[in-house]
Amino acid sequence: MNFQDVQTLQQALDLAPPPRLNSAQDRAEHNALQRRLLVAQEDERVMAEWRRRHPEEVAYEQQYWASRREEDTRRRREERLDRRRRKALACAQADLVNAGGRSFFTEEDERWLDCWLSTSDDTNDDDDGADDWSDWD
């Protein structure tokens, strides 16, 4: 429902009819959601007050997370470089064998699988890797 003559959410809520709650379960779910909303709003208010009173802690936390992002970026770059080196070695061995030479890898050596490693650079340095679901990259 749209109200053209109200400026705040609270005014709109005051004018809107109460939600239609058909069962005791609907009322219980609605009450639980309302309590969660109140808790979240109070939590945001308390955190804003804490940030106002403790700016040094806020600065420390921001510095901590910046250093963590730098470490993660460095680690990801090193892992990509390592994958590139491993893939280059495996591909060189495959080329050597295909040319009639002899590889120092044995037939069962797992390093042969490195030929299929992904070494693409189309990764985002700001990506935290949380959605990575596979170790094959």
Sign of the CA dihedral running 102, 106, 111, 113 = positive
How is residue 16 written in tokens? Answer: 């809107």
Share of the chain above pLDDT 90, in %: 46
In this prediction the pTM is 0.51
H, E, C per residue of 72-132: HHHHHHHHHHHHHHHHHHHHHHHHHHHCCCCCCCCCCCHHHHHHHCCCCCCCCCCCCCCCC
Tell me the pLDDT tens digit for each residue of 74-107.
Answer: 999 999 999 999 999 999 988 988 888 888 888 8
**Is the pLDDT confidence value at 122 over 60?**
no
- Cα 26 from Cα 34, distance rounded (Å): 12
Q: What is the pLDDT of residue 41?
A: 95
Number of neighbours of residue 93 by Cβ within 10 angstroms: 20
- pLDDT of 42 reads 96
Mean pLDDT of the chain: 84
Per-residue pLDDT averaged across 55-64, rounded? 96
